[in-house]
Amino acid sequence: MKYIFTTAFLCMFMFAAVGQTKKPQAKETKQVVEASCGECQFGLKGKSCDLAVRIGGKAYFVDGAKIDDFGDAHEKDGFCKSIRKAEVTGSIVKGRFKATSFNLLPEEKKKN
């Protein structure tokens, strides 16, 4: 009888320990990326104008920042009309960029 209780206790302990293992989190990276409207500039499929970043030639919609956080997207220098540089921190999760910081960099002056 002790053997049965001991075995049952050990099995419950092992199952509890296995259930508490965490999935590895995507590593957050600080980097400079291209930022713009995903639909208007990067050709992503969507329902409206949404902020996106392009990393390594691939575009991702952004969670954690909104397109209108940086002014009117439809102005001449807005995200729907131009591609800007941004310094971001975050990770790609399920095909979207999860931003923990998003800082738009000043526009570069065009040389004549």
pLDDT in tens, 56-103: 999 999 999 999 999 999 998 899 999 999 999 999 999 999 999 999
In DSSP terms, 101 is beta-bridged to 89
User: What total of structural domains would you count in the chain?
Assistant: 1
In a domain, 39, yes or no: yes
How sure is the predictor about 1, in pLDDT bands with cuts at 50, 70 and 90? low
Task: Tell me if 53 is assigned to some domain.
Answer: yes
According to the model, what pLDDT value does residue 14 have?
A: 54
Nearest to 87 by CA among 34, 38, 37, 26: 34
Contacts 24+ apart (CB under 8 A), 10-18: none
- C-beta separation of 89 from 62 below 8 A: no
Among candidate residues 87, 90, 40, the one with its CA nearest the CA of residue 62: 90
15 three-state secondary structure = helix
User: Rounded to whole angstroms, what are the CA distances from 36 to 16, 70, 82, 92, 112?
Assistant: 46, 11, 7, 17, 24
- In tens, the pLDDT along 27-40 reads 888 999 999 999 99
Bridge partners for 97 per DSSP:
62, 92
Q: Containing domain of residue 95, as a range? A: 29-104
In a domain, 20, yes or no: no
pLDDT band at 2 (very low <50, low <70, confident <90, very high): low
Does a structural domain hold residue 14? Answer: no
